[in-house]
Amino acid sequence: MHFPRTILVSALALAATPALAQSTGTWTIGIGAHNVAPKSNNGTLTATPLGNLRMDVGNNLRPTITAEYFLKDNLGVEVLAALPFQHDIDVAGVGKVGSTKHLPPTVSLQYHFGQGKLRPFVGAGVNYTRFFSTRTEGPIAGTSLSLSDSWGLAGHVGIDFKLAEKAALRVDYRTIDIDTKVKLNGANLGTRNTVNIDPSVYGVAYVFAF
């Protein structure tokens, strides 16, 4: 997970005024938008009917919502939900061969630092990704392409910028382990049929407490 160290150091130094309430029993809701950017090399499917296929899964931006409950002061459990993300599926040297949608609900345990106008936080949790509405085109048009659901770990860092006593603007970054097995017409596509999506997820949200 990459995050500028200087931003976190600066945020920890700013602890002058009360910020978004994050005490035991508090709920926060965040409404925003996030971009899911799969890693640039998603892996190669080997010995397929079309030969070895180097996969590339595209980016997508969607509205998101989070809910967090504080078990103790500064320590909360957060759930991330979103509208379905849609990604193009490309094969190097071939082009677009299809598209898929997915939902990536994620549950994280998070710790929020300080009491200032800027409050950084870190978290770790578990992601479940469900793929659906997968379509084919180009050289595999008319076939049935399926991607298996995925369980994986997720990391989270971010900063809340205080806007009002119970409101903040959040900028955050996640890294999620998403691996899916590919099948064509119900059979494994190749001898190595796993696509490693492993996206970076980054965005902004308006967060309010109640």
**Residue 77, domain extent:** 5-209
pLDDT band at 68 (very low <50, low <70, confident <90, very high): very high
CATH number, domain at 131?
2.40.160.20
For 181-206, the pLDDT digits (tens) are 988 888 887 777 888 899 999 999 99
How many domains does the chain contain in total?
1
Rounded Cα distance, 56 and 203, in Å: 22
| Tokens encoding 181 | 């097995």
**E-strand stretches of 42-178:** 44-48, 51-57, 60-72, 75-82, 85-91, 95-103, 106-112, 118-136, 145-147, 150-164, 167-176
DSSP letter for 84, please: P
In tens, the pLDDT along 8-51 reads: 444 444 333 344 667 899 999 999 999 999 987 777 777 776 67
Question: What whole-number distance in Å separates Cα of residue 101 and Cα of residue 141?
Answer: 17
196: nearest Cα among 14, 16, 43: 43
Q: Give pLDDT, residue 61.
A: 97
The maximal CA–CA distance of the chain, rounded, in angstroms, is 63
